[in-house]
Structure 1
Amino acid sequence: MGNQPSTPKPGTEFQVIGAGLSRTGTASFSEALRILLDGPVYHGGTQTTLGPPVEIKTMIQILANLFPGRTETSEKEALQLLKERFSGYAAATDAPASGLVPELLKIYPDAKVICTVRDPKAWEKSMEGVTNAATMGFLNVILLPIPGMRHFPDYINKLRAQWRTLYGEAGKEPMTVETYERHIEWLKKVVPEDRLVFFAVKDGWEPLCKALGKPVPKDIPFPRINDGEAIQRLAKRKLTQGLIRWLIIIATAGLALIPMIWV
């Protein structure tokens, strides 16, 4: 997860579908793509939590149109919304794009599909913290006063429907090594072999540049962004923001009641 949302740049060619699951180095990968493709990258986790409310609301609508079931009309609407949302971006990474690969290939048939990977057991352990932070029961109430983030619990529920549809029983929480492996199997089924690349961010520039046909950047170290720390910071900030807004609401309501008490 990046530190701030990206801004679309009109006229940018969409070139890469990031098919790696969350917590596989997607933030570092996104920054690397931004450098190599010289254009903004849509990192799902960052855009939906730090971007304007339209970001998360649109993603909720897209997911609702596709999962668990879809019609010809709802799929057509979802594809149009995806095209609008990703217009001006060079790539899309992280959830929900990682589970929308077939749909994105319909819109961008020439795009390269790159799946970031890591040790499955390490991924499983990393996902425990993310799942716990995203599914706390009191989020509905605390996030209610925050525009955009008040939709976060609904967004997580839509992501759950996506995961269950794609991975079956392995898509249910808690996420496990089986979930990770089912995602890899699914990608191999829906993406032509010559279009699918697996990439570990720990390997740095060379394999990524080779996949994209780009020269290795000179004097620019490969980005190393700690997604876990960023998620923890975001969670604390949003919870604090929600609590402060509730205190203001309660205090304001209390002040409004004082004249009535003395009447």
Structure 2
Amino acid sequence: MPPVTATFRFYEELNDFLAPPLRRREISCVCARAATTKHMIEALGVPHTEVELILVNGESVGFDRVLEEGDRVAVYPKFEALDITPMLRVRPAPLRVIRFVADAHLGGLAHLLRLAGFDTLYDNHYADEEIEALAAAEGRIVLSRDRELLKRRTITHGCYVRALKPQEQLREIVGRLDLIRSLRPFRLCLTCNVPLRSLERSEALGRVPDGVFERQTRFVTCDVCKRIFWEGSHWSRMRALVDSLARDRNAQ
């Protein structure tokens, strides 16, 4: 069967994924006869996890819509303010429990997400196949700067991380996913990603420096790595970071 020609237009930050000559304009594409919207959107460089709404000839459609000759396709990212309830959102419903798996390049972000209270798997030896399997098996959101990873078929929830520095990455993810009300700082071990538990002060005696024991009254511990944590200078810096996220949200 002969190919068909369709016209695409990407909106807002989705243009970041396109080659510079294709950004913020209509793109005429020759498509295979059986090509779907998902196939062509990803062929142009945009991971399906970044797309919220697709309109073909003005009507909302899913990723499985087969393209036809003369179709005009408008592709939109996540909407922050516009109510599109009557339309077909192509991404699955939000996950009831927010959990992440981060790729090998996002160790700093994984550390900060745990600090903020979000269950985040990270290992710099994870292969893409492992990340895909973990996301599917445990309902995790994939965080990556690798758009090819986010194009994998079974990954339904993912975020392409644009920022380069960990603290800015944390701000980006908290803002994009509207997580400010879900912050539960200092509840997870930053190394083991498991819940911390309160420790009787007497149990910390001899396990922390003498000066720390004299100054502090509250301690928590990780039952995996056995480390003990207290509200020292590091805690204060991390507390300031978490508080700044809330201030950013209130300023919007």
Please indicate, yes or no, whether the TM-score normalized by the shorter chain is above 0.5: no
Structure in which a larger fraction of residues adopt strand: 2
From the CA coordinates, give the structure whose radius of gyration is larger.
Answer: 2
TM-score scaled by length of structure 1: 0.22
